[in-house]
Amino acid sequence: MIDPELQHYLSGINQHLGEIKKNQKVGVWRAFFNGVFGALGYAVGLAIVVGILGWILKETGYLGKFRQQARDFQSIINELKNLRQPFNETGESVITLPDGREVKVISPTE
């Protein structure tokens, strides 16, 4: 037979496992709220990391350089958008260069 002391420990463990099973009701609402709070934790953590990174860049003086680089890229993109003009039905287009000169471009025919 089983040792009485071991029997006592096993019955205690069995009782505790039964209580844990009762308290562990997995439902739709519990899963929903776990997902919502998990996503909220990720969002708050990301905001904190971005804030700290921005503060570090500002303190080291690199933030102004990044802003200037972003402005340069934006101006280049705007200039490229101005260069891209549709051809008319005759296959011609007039492109205005950044210095103000206009160039007539003829589309190659297929």
| The 3-state secondary structure of 39-63, one letter per residue | HHHHHHHHHHHHHHHHHHHHHHCHH
Burial tier of 57 (Cβ tally within 10 Å: 0-12, 13-18, 19+): middle
Domain assignment of residue 2, yes or no: no
Domain assignment of residue 50, yes or no: yes
Domain assignment of residue 95, yes or no: yes
Alpha-carbon torsion (12, 18, 23, 26), positive or negative: positive
Domain assignment of residue 7, yes or no: no
What is the per-residue pLDDT across 34-86, written as a single tens digit (0 to 9) for each? 899 999 999 999 999 999 998 998 899 888 888 899 899 998 888 777 665 56
Domain assignment of residue 1, yes or no: no
pLDDT for residue 109 is more than 70: no
Write down the pLDDT at residue 110.
Answer: 45
Q: Look up residue 99 and give its two tokens.
A: 């210095």
Domain assignment of residue 41, yes or no: yes
For 92, the 3-state DSSP assignment is: strand
What is the per-residue pLDDT across 89-103, written as a single tens digit (0 to 9) for each? 666 777 778 888 888
Cβ(79)–Cβ(72) below 8 Å: no
